[in-house]
Amino acid sequence: MKRNDLLWKGVLEDLFDDFLRFFYPEADTLFDLDKSFEYLDKELEQLFPPEAGNFATRYVDKLVKVYTRGGGEEWVLVHVEVQGYTDRDFARRMYQYYSRILDRYDKPITAFAIFADTNKSFHPRYYEREFLGTRIYYSYNTYKIIDHSDAELEASNNPFAMAVLSAKLSLSRPGLKDQQLFELAYDLAKRLLAKQIPREKIRKIMTFLRYYLRFENPEISAKFVQELNILTERTATMGIEELLLDQAKKEGKLEGKKEGKEEGKLEGKLEGKLEGKLEEAKDIARAMKNEGISLVQVAKFTRLSVEEIEKL
């Protein structure tokens, strides 16, 4: 859950403009997306400090300051919660967030609950309370990932839709064997590359997909990382990865250490292939050519010349 928390926080910040467009087709006329977003996570934590027990922030909560097209310095607040487990107090907590945020900022608020769990009966849409003629009714935007079809999400060119599709694939994990999951995830990655999406955002979605999936077999996990590296020509650490690595360093947990070692070993092997093992580099080049990857991309990854690759 801690890793999923970091991944959702990262992808929401990486793709927040696409998040708004995903839920509001008219987002570009409603919001001034050319202005930067301000993430008020620390302020949100102050409203629900850890010592508050049941009211402490849990899973993923984000509060974002967004400027509108109304002119001047007009802005609103977008509250997003990603919920990955059943919680009977969820709707009340959403209302408490709204109440405290309104009390603090006195600004228009729109709230979203994204349910990233597999319990089909869990979908709280509102909070209601009544006593002797006094009544509270609070509703918010909801999105249950498993209620939406793959075809619906795949038809979209919105980057956030692709992140949701990646999470949806992960939710199907209990019914899939590692090899099945690998094939589905790799196919999703290839389809993602064919989308009309800026390359940098594709990289961010790929990173989300890469870390969100769980493989029981470490060899298949390593193979998946390698194949994504080939597809994306990864050359730099991205926002989500930085969050994960920073968390692993702070906590020093075994899982983080294992993943760091596994990734380090894999990258070391790849580097060794590229620098010292010409024949293995050629084998990789042949495989990439068979996948239909351009000669320029193959050359960039293997460090072989285009002429050498053409002779293979």
Among 73-77, 182-186, 271-275, name the most confident range.
182-186
Domain limit, last residue, from 147, 172, 189 = 147
Model confidence at 252, pLDDT cuts 50, 70, 90, reads: low
- Count Cα neighbours of 211 within 13 Å in the Cβ-side half-sphere: 28
244 pLDDT more than 70: no
The reply to whether 168 and 268 lie within a common domain is yes
Model confidence at 55, pLDDT cuts 50, 70, 90, reads: very low
- Strand 75-83 with 60-67, pairing: antiparallel
The reply to whether 272 and 283 lie within a common domain is no
Angle of the 159-171 helix axis to the 199-212 helix axis, nearest 10: 10
Model confidence at 238, pLDDT cuts 50, 70, 90, reads: very low
How long, in residues, is the chain?
Answer: 312
The reply to whether 188 and 231 lie within a common domain is yes
Domain limit, last residue, from 147, 172, 188 = 147
Name which of 118-127, 168-177, 214-223, 251-260 the model is least confident about. 251-260
The reply to whether 64 and 118 lie within a common domain is yes
> How many domains in the chain?
3
The reply to whether 10 and 135 lie within a common domain is yes
The reply to whether 93 and 157 lie within a common domain is no
The reply to whether 269 and 164 lie within a common domain is yes
The reply to whether 227 and 291 lie within a common domain is no
* Distance separating the N- and C-terminal Cα atoms of the chain: 46
The reply to whether 8 and 142 lie within a common domain is yes
DSSP states of 216-271: SSHHHHHHHHHHHHHHHT--S--HHHHHHHHHHHHH--HHHHHHHHHHHHHHHHHH
Instruction: Please tell me the predicted confidence (pLDDT) of residue 191.
Output: 87
Give me the mean pLDDT over the 50-66 stretch: 66
Domain that holds residue 97: 1-147
Instruction: Please tell me the predicted confidence (pLDDT) of residue 221.
Output: 86
Instruction: Please tell me the predicted confidence (pLDDT) of residue 52.
Output: 47
The reply to whether 219 and 126 lie within a common domain is no
The reply to whether 40 and 181 lie within a common domain is no
The reply to whether 174 and 209 lie within a common domain is yes
Domain limit, last residue, from 126, 147, 168 = 147
Query: What residues pair up with 277 in beta bridges, in sequence order?
Result: none
Task: Please write the tens of the pLDDT for every residue from 253-267.
Answer: 545 555 555 555 555
